[in-house]
Structure 1
Amino acid sequence: MSLRELVVLGTSSAVPTRRRNHNGYLLMWDGEGFLFDPGEGTQRQMVLAGLSAHDITWICLTHMHGDHCLGVPGVVQRIARDKVPHTVTATFPASGETYWRRLRHAAVFGDTDVIAERPLSGPVAELRAGELTLTARLLSHPVEAYGYRVQEPEGRRMLPERLEARGVRGPLVGRLQREGAVVAPDGSTVTLEECSEPRPGQSMAFIMDTRECEGIAPLAEGADLLVIESTFLSPEAALAEQYGHLTAAQAGRIAAEAGVRHLVLTHFSERYDVNDEPRFLAEAAASYSGPITLAHDLDRIRVPRRAR
């Protein structure tokens, strides 16, 4: 059975709180493990979540502010200590490469050669992760920052009534899926297009520190799961704009306009406490009518089933 699940390791912004660790999000997707923005304490949060360094195949940094990257040294050293055998690809803004080097070699340890670096430059970058596409797009923050989208390729959904009408049964169905055409028992040729319809690939978008900008929409468009910062509430909208962040109201509007299927709010300023959480949900829900999760540390959130 495939596993497509987001494990939330931390949900605070610049300053951790008693209830919220610095950022950290591990997207488990059919054997790939995308670790987004490992902030300070990520290694310990992974232990608490029952995760292993072996689960990580990608380290994806949106930008080089501390709450999004100070966990890199511990994570890399754990990958080395646990002798992870597979390649772990690290993506980060090319403009922050100096900081990446400092984090990558922050202490004395027995190093590993499995880390493959892929610095990001330009407005858009596309990378391959097996059959998945990882797209990075430039956002708007005081330092160079990227958002990410994980996209599964489009597939086909078989239509049983059409298969039956053409006499395609049993092993012939598998051959039709693999080869695109088969000869039916009556001698006619049956094509895959005749007995199936397009099935959209699943997608997840990860949008951290940014004010509203043109890079957001293509990342979020039609995403099954949108994980997005909502650092502030609307009374602090001017502050959000000044520091390159979003409010919960803006996050809800972005999700609604993009046709997102499940919205996850995170990256909360330390100025707010548990009593403010209903306000974040209410602001987002004013525009977005779909399911909303206000993320907490160690939450596990399934990617919604494929849209029909």
Structure 2
Amino acid sequence: MTAISAARAHLAQGPAQDDVFLSDVLEGLSRPDKSLPCKYFYDAEGSALFDAICTLDEYYPTRTETALLQARADEIAGLAGRGATLVELGSGSSVKVRILLDALDAPAMYVPVDISRDHLIAAAARLAGDYPAVTVVPVAADYVRGFALPRGAAPERTMAFFPGSTIGNFRPAEAMTFLDTLGRRLGAGARLLIGVDLRKDPAVLEAAYDDARGVTAAFNMNLLARINRELDGTFDLDRFAHMARYDTARGRIEMHLRSLDDQTAHVAGHPIRFARGETIHTENSYKYSVSGFRRLAARAGWRTERSWTDENRLFSLHWMVRHG
């Protein structure tokens, strides 16, 4: 905390997460089709593994979105205007946002919002040291459940940044609800820069979520390891396997953990039974067309003013304004 304070940053506390982790896990694993919320991937170990995923040859989204941000940074800065407050949802290591901070005209405040508190504080401290003119206000919160913006964040100067195509983790109806709620929270006139992955060859998608080195498999498996560490779980990780598949009809990648045997694991003393081949559904990642996503955002109260794609149409960025 000392490093952040010295750099004139402040820690804002979002809603407590520990009290809901156990109930979310037990609820998800009690369903006939077992599932776990993907937000729980991101403890310190999971966040580090995701950072490693972003460097993989197969994982095109990070390098493609980064190149798009670099190519369009000056245009984005012009749209944002002087003295912007930049709010990043799911900030992680706060790497891509540096491209924007370098381009923006005298940004006043950076508000990284992330569920992984320790990872958030470390990343915020590094960024605050590198950008001493920017007030850094890290918010430890689940941005889906809600968070409070710091004082001084006027809607017309606020720019939300939601990179990485994390919007794809929501089902389309949930994505629309989330975007509407976000717009109401930020206020009329707020701006949103959002990354959206595009539909493409299923082989390219499946390789991105099941890499040859097994880093994504370790990331998926860490969810069970986290339950073991934090919720007195008894999962035997050697008796589960990572699985990623593309559902063409729904336009989404699904990640699962597949049980290799008939077995019983415990979570905080509660038995969870698995049949051989049964899976835990851990993540969806929906893919969109540019026009399809623009229509969804419009129904959620956002007007798209700019859309950009790379030359291979792998990924897209959208600049949107809240109109209500």
TM bin (shorter chain): 0.3 to 0.5
Larger Rg, first or second structure (1 or 2):
1
Give the structure-1-normalised TM-score. Answer: 0.38
Q: Which has the higher contact order (CA 8 A, sep 6+)?
A: 2
